[in-house]
Structure 1
C-alpha cells in the first residue's frame, strides 16, 4: 500500500496516536476528540459551540 506524504506548512493538526489506538473509545469519540484537538487553544469548549461546528 502506498503512503502519501504532503508538506505540512499550515492548517494541520499534530496529535498523539494514543487516543486513536485506544480500543475503549468509540469511533465517534475518537472523531470528536480529534476535532477538539484541532481547534485553537483559545476556543471556548462548550456543548453549544461544539454542536454548532459538528452540524
Structure 2
C-alpha cells in the first residue's frame, strides 16, 4: 500500500496542465524542465545558462531536453535580430499543450 503526503498549497505554487505529464513520448527530463520553465515568471530570461543554473544538470543535458520539447511542440525558439540583421537575443515560447493540439 502506498501513501501520498501532500503539503497545503496557499502560496508559491504553480498550476499546470496534466497533459504533458501524461505524454509518454516525453522523457522525465523533458517533463521536469518544462515544469520548471512553466513555474518561472513570464519575464524570466530563458537562456541555456540561466536554465542550467537552476539544476545540477549540465548545459548539454538542458540543451537536449529543450530540443526534445521543441520537437514535440512544447517550446518554440525564435532568433531576435536587430535592424542590421545581427543576432541580439532568443525569444522562447513555452506551451503547456503542444502547438497544434490546443483545442483537443
TM range (shorter): 0.7 to 0.9
The structure with the largest alpha-carbon Rg is 2
Normalised TM-score (structure 1): 0.84
Q: Which moved more, 1:5-14 or 1:17-26?
A: 5-14
- The match for 1:52 is 53
In the alignment, structure 1 segments of 5+ residues that lack a partner are none
- The match for 1:40 is 41
Q: Which moved more, 1:5-14 or 1:18-27?
A: 5-14
* Number of aligned residues: 55
> Of Structure 1 and Structure 2, which has the larger fraction of its residues in strand?
2
CA deviation after TM superposition for structure 1 residue 41, in Å:
1.0
Alignment of 1:26 with 2:27, yes or no, is yes
Change (3 A) 1:51 1:5: closer
> Of Structure 1 and Structure 2, which has the larger fraction of its residues in helix?
1
- Higher RCO structure (Cα 8 Å, ≥6 apart): 1
Structure 1 residue ranges, 4+ long, deviating more than 6 angstroms after superposition? none
Q: Distance in 2 between matches of 1:32 and 1:17?
A: 15
